[in-house]
Amino acid sequence: MNKILIIEDEENLANFISLELQHEGYNTKIHNNGRTGLEEALNNNWDAILLDLMLPELNGIEVTRRIRQVKNTPIIMMTARDDIMDRVSGLDHGADDYIVKPFAIEELLARLRALLRRIDIESDKNANKQTTLNYRDIIVEKENRLVRRKNEIIDLTKREYELLLTLMENVNTVLEREKLLEKVWNYEDHAETNVVDVYIRYLRNKIDIPGEESYIQTVRGLGYVMRA
Ligand code: CA
């Protein structure tokens, strides 16, 4: 469930936004002044912050500036004044979006969803950028498509490599043969699931250490998993 911090000094508006967000399944918390709102933003992790521009003690631009010194929490600035300078200035200081009061709650909800989706996509991208994977003493360097144990390179075929990568990217998740066929062989047709067993055997022959437990566990009737 997404946690949204609302920093807004008009209490009726803050309560209204909060109730609407809760109705949509968000967790919310309200602060009515810039200073305590900033403390809340810094001390806890929020998925997004709805931030009023004109606030007692610290204004929205100052709050944004101070948050940005340490955190990337997405911020939507809410401004009562349809003043282009304020908006530009808010975005300059690190707000991700802005909305002009008075606004329809649906518009705020739509912008919030869009922002959270964008953040999700970016964090997925960052996760995929992780170029080195480790499992026990096996290291996969994705950039070089290289698999090694310490300094010893393990020579894998393309298919074996894809299979190992898929297992290592899903540590602790049991992958069914059908799933592995889809991911590694791009099969839509699940007729030939025994090819997976064959390749698991090839892979084990190359990565396992004789006399020690296999890196890849068989889950009978289900598929395969690498357990952390
Ligand atoms: Ca205000």
Calculate how far, in angstroms, residue 99's C-alpha sits from the geometric centre of ligand 1: 13
Calculate how far, in angstroms, residue 40's C-alpha sits from the geometric centre of ligand 1: 18
Q: Before 56, cis peptide (omega within 30)?
A: no
Calculate how far, in angstroms, residue 48's C-alpha sits from the geometric centre of ligand 1: 18
pLDDT of residue 80: 78
Calculate how far, in angstroms, residue 53's C-alpha sits from the geometric centre of ligand 1: 6
Angle, to 10 degrees, between the axis of helix 34-43 and the axis of helix 60-68?
20
Q: pLDDT 10s digit of each residue in the chain, 228 long?
A: 899 999 999 999 999 999 999 999 999 999 999 999 999 999 999 999 999 998 999 999 999 999 988 888 999 999 876 655 665 666 667 889 889 888 999 999 999 999 998 887 777 766 666 688 999 999 998 888 889 998 889 999 989 999 999 999 999 999 999 889 888 887 666 567 788 999 999 999 999 999 999 999 999 988 999 998
Angstrom distance (rounded) from CA 156 to CA 221: 27
Question: Is residue 154 within 8 Å of 208, Cβ to Cβ?
Answer: no
pLDDT of residue 191: 60
Calculate how far, in angstroms, residue 54's C-alpha sits from the geometric centre of ligand 1: 4
> If you search the block for the tokens 């899903």, which residue do you land on?
170
pLDDT of residue 72: 87
CA-only gyration radius of the chain, Å = 25
Calculate how far, in angstroms, residue 25's C-alpha sits from the geometric centre of ligand 1: 25
pLDDT of residue 9: 96
Calculate how far, in angstroms, residue 156's C-alpha sits from the geometric centre of ligand 1: 62
Question: Is residue 63 within 8 Å of 33, Cβ to Cβ?
Answer: no
pLDDT of residue 120: 79
Domains and CATH numbers, the chain: 3-128 (3.40.50.2300), 132-225 (1.10.10.10)
Calculate how far, in angstroms, residue 52's C-alpha sits from the geometric centre of ligand 1: 6
